[in-house]
Chains A and B, each alone.
Chain A
Amino acid sequence: MISEQLKKSLQQRVETAITPREAAVDVMKELQRHYGWLTDEAVGEAGELLGLSPLQVEELATFYEKIYRRPVTGKLIQVCDSISCWSGCCDGIIEHLKKRLDVELGGSSADGKFTLVPCCCLGRCGDAPVMVIGETFYGNLTPEKVDQILEKER
């Protein structure tokens, strides 16, 4: 269930869009912020707000990798493995993250603080290799820098 207040603000967002579909990402992101991930219930609510069927919301939700259709434990670390970051040796960074958190890609750390997933280009290739924790962006990563960031984010 979402609050009346949130519902109202989302309705306003949908009304300002030329086509409801255009507002879909914003609506899904807000619902995700509310629930922590985009639950089945949230898909239904998004559909009602947007005038789409649950399936049509699902089509969009599963296309965008930053919309989570499964629960996420702790903070989500998304580390880019696309070509620019790969040239900047993201492989080493990913290995380092795996070792530090003692997880495989897609897994959550034992203390429940972090979940590690690879992701597509974050649009900051000039700062490669890069990652995002929650909604905070970190670039020009080195193993040492990663350790400091993890300490800070923890």
Chain B
Amino acid sequence: MPKLIIDDIEVEVPAGTSVLEAARSVGITIPHFCYHPALAIAAACRLCAVKMLDGPVKGIQMSCALPAQDGMVVSTTDPDALKMRKLVIEWLMINHPHDCPVCDEGGECLLQDFTIAGGHGIRRYQGKKRTHVNQYLGEGIYHEMNRCIQCYRCVRFYQEYAGGTDFGVTGCAGRVYFGRFDDGPLESPFSGNLVDICPTGVFTDKTGRFRARYWDYQYAPSICPHCSAGCNLSPQAYHREVIKIVARRNDEVNGWFICDRARFDKSDLNDPLRPRQALVDGSPVEWEAALNALATRLREFVQSHGADSLALVGSTRLSLEAGILLAELAARYKGVRLCYFIDPAEAQLSLSKVEWVPAGMAASQAELREADFIAILPCDLMEESPMIALAIRQAFVKGAKVYLVAPHLTALNLERLPFQVQVVPELADVPLGEAKRGIVVAGAGFADLKGLEAVPTGVKFVLLQPGPNSFGAALLAREYRAVPLREAIASGKVKGILALETDLPEELRQGLTFFAAADWRNNGAAEPASVFLPTSAWAETGGTWINYEGRAQRYRQAYKTGLPLRGLPARYYGSQEAEPPAHPPRVHRAVAPGGDTRSAWMLVAELIFKLTGEPAAEPYAGKWAPLKHIDPEGPGMRLPAELLAG
């Protein structure tokens, strides 16, 4: 472990750590553009200059490309280093347009920060600036090439990290250009990360352009709802509308990046037709009135039909907290049907995957990135969980052998995978016995768990699940002896359903005498429900989801629910008839229009109180107590063995 001195502070770091990272470990940020921890070293920007006062190398050095060594004495504040950095900034700014006020990156721009930090303020260069023609890169990303400072982060990410081939760097010297061969949408499903890693405004998020500044956003640590990988991200909201979604670093899970579906698919949250109004028999009422009606009707229903005619239905996207409370509500009515899954096969499969993987043998994305043998069982990874494929690519680049088990190759699209695979007909053909860090990857649809029995011990598993909290739902279903809804209905007794954030197939609502629903998604549940209660979406509330590996991750509320300010309907401006004025409503109200919602867990807690007169119990008690304190900004928590065991 080399020991060195940086700005009079003694630092000891693992061998191979760069001077830049060593300085960062003691809280000294050395300005840098091209350096990115997830990417190969380019040493292209020359900004991270430090002065080596003593040790094996001396003088001005690039701290990103210099491994820390014993006896180094580093100064980040030496006048020579400061002057170098100032001149580099001035040089990088020579061609950079002074368009910060109209640039979407303004306020969250590394170039802005380090230009100020470097002390460059007055432009001396009088010549003409280099200019480029921008390209159309699809509906996700806006290209503004004039802002480029040639740090090569984008191309290193796109080609080396993500394995894309349609975007790169052309030209040389002063004509260096980052783009495609010709105009067209970027093909990589990870292209959106260019927005995050570009240190300036060459790539900006087209889906949220010119809507708000960095300091306007409300945001919070959150988790992606699109698959079971549990990638960390942060929704950025302004005036109750999610403008952008950015990746959030979690070295155990997604690293620094997210896929384009996670980043660009905000349609559910911003859907203007999202149900936001509490309804009783289709008529708008206050939240409280709807909850009262729900409690009354539930009570009446149970009295006249019996508790075993009622099904309380959660889902694989419902937070763990709401799921636990739903079980508590069910416990108050003996015989009531508690459901977390609709389909029996899915319920069975989710639980058997949870139970099949021996404790500690589920592989995280971080472990995937370090694997040396990977066997992928038939699934379309790029469709199902692109980030898993990106993690496999990192292992592949480091020399891992990747096998695809495919009895019928025709159904699989190998072209899209960002790594090369060796196709074998059966899992037995993969020499997993040779693996030191072997991992078997299977999609959510994979059901042949028996076939995995031959896998040698020591090999870990990635068994994907269909929903962001399928793992949690399976645990809940086992713990509280829940039944899948179809099975409950097949018994012929179920006459009433309370669906909590559940996408219920229409045919399951047929023949019910009572149907109530609570959801934030526009999935058609509000209309047929006799009582409908709008809930807050994942980005608008806190909660916990458990990803495919059994990692519980907490998400926080990013913003308060409500109709986005943009496009507010006329009735919120005081009068139905009058022309809507160009400013927000001046009707005095305690909550924002469309914001009279509750988190699903709070709804259940309130319902328990209404029905029993007693407050609901703390969800993180008893068996679930270890999950109480999960840091939303930490790596999450792998479930302890006693929670995994039945």
Contact = CB atoms under 8 A, between A and B. Distances in A.
Interface in B167-187: 167-172, 175, 177, 180-181
Interface size class of A (residues with CB under 8 A): 10 to 19
B171 A55 contact: no
In the A-B complex, the 4 residue pairs with the smallest Cβ-Cβ separation, listed nearest first, are A53-B165, A55-B181, A62-B170, A54-B181
A100 B181 CA distance: 38
B170 A58 contact: yes
25 contacts: A43-B181, A52-B165, A53-B165, A53-B166, A53-B181, A54-B181, A55-B165, A55-B167, A55-B168, A55-B170, A55-B180, A55-B181, A56-B165, A56-B168, A58-B168, A58-B170, A58-B181, A59-B168, A59-B169, A59-B170, A61-B170, A62-B172, A62-B177, A63-B171, A63-B172
Contacts of B170: 55, 58-59, 61-63
B166 A55 contact: yes
Contacts of B166: 53, 55
Contacts of A52: 165
A66 to B, nearest CB: 12
Interface in A28-85: 43, 52-56, 58-59, 61-63, 65
A59 B170 CA distance: 4
A65 B172 CA distance: 9
A19 to B, nearest CB: 14
A99 to B, nearest CB: 26
Nearest to B179: A55
Interface size class of B (residues with CB under 8 A): 10 to 19
A59 B180 CA distance: 10
Contact of B171 (A54, A56, A62): A62
Contacts of A59: 168-170
A65 B171 CA distance: 9
Nearest to A52: B165
A137 B143 CA distance: 42
Contacts of A62: 170-172, 175, 177
Nearest to A57: B181
Interface string B134-177: 00000000000000000000000000000001111111100101
Nearest to B165: A53
Nearest to A64: B172
B110 to A, nearest CB: 25
A59 B158 CA distance: 14
B263 to A, nearest CB: 23
A41 to B, nearest CB: 13
Given A58-B168, A62-B171, 9 more contacts: A43-B181, A53-B166, A54-B181, A55-B165, A55-B167, A56-B168, A58-B181, A62-B170, A65-B172
Interface string B534-556: 00000000000000000000000
A114 B85 CA distance: 45
Nearest to A43: B181
A62 B169 CA distance: 9
A62 B180 CA distance: 13
Contacts of B169: 59
B161 to A, nearest CB: 16
Contacts of B165: 52-53, 55-56
B182 to A, nearest CB: 8
A55 B177 CA distance: 12
Contacts of B171: 62-63
A43 B169 CA distance: 15
B115 to A, nearest CB: 29
Contacts of B172: 62-63, 65
Contacts of B175: 62
Contacts of A43: 181
A75 B170 CA distance: 25
Q: Which of A53, A55, A59 has the most B CB atoms < 10 Å from its CB?
A: A55
A91 B169 CA distance: 32
Interface string A123-153: 0000000000000000000000000000000
Nearest to B171: A62
A39 to B, nearest CB: 13
A2 B177 CA distance: 29
Nearest to A59: B168
A83 to B, nearest CB: 15
Nearest to B170: A62
Contacts of A58: 168, 170, 181
A52 B168 CA distance: 12
A62 to B, nearest CB: 4
A117 to B, nearest CB: 14
A43 B168 CA distance: 15
A104 B570 CA distance: 65
A54 B181 CA distance: 6
Nearest to A65: B172
A142 B180 CA distance: 44
Nearest to B159: A56
A130 B482 CA distance: 85
A65 B180 CA distance: 20
Q: Which of B167, B169, B177, B181 has the most A CB atoms < 10 Å from its CB?
A: B181
Interface string B396-408: 0000000000000
Contacts of A65: 172
A120 to B, nearest CB: 9
Contacts of B180: 55
A141 to B, nearest CB: 24
A63 B176 CA distance: 9
B394 to A, nearest CB: 21
Nearest to A63: B172
A58 B167 CA distance: 10
B180 to A, nearest CB: 6
Nearest to B175: A62
A83 B373 CA distance: 52
Nearest to A53: B165
Q: Which of A43, A53, A61 has the most B CB atoms < 10 Å from its CB?
A: A53
A52 B165 CA distance: 8
A61 B172 CA distance: 10
Nearest to B155: A59
Nearest to A54: B181
B419 to A, nearest CB: 15
A61 B170 CA distance: 8
A43 B181 CA distance: 10
A63 B171 CA distance: 5
A25 to B, nearest CB: 14
A78 B167 CA distance: 31
Interface in B452-493: none
Q: Which of A56, A61, A65 has the most B CB atoms < 10 Å from its CB?
A: A56
A106 to B, nearest CB: 13
A5 B611 CA distance: 86
A65 B174 CA distance: 13
B544 to A, nearest CB: 43
B174 to A, nearest CB: 13
Contacts of B167: 55
A53 B180 CA distance: 10
Interface string B178-202: 0011000000000000000000000
B10 to A, nearest CB: 44
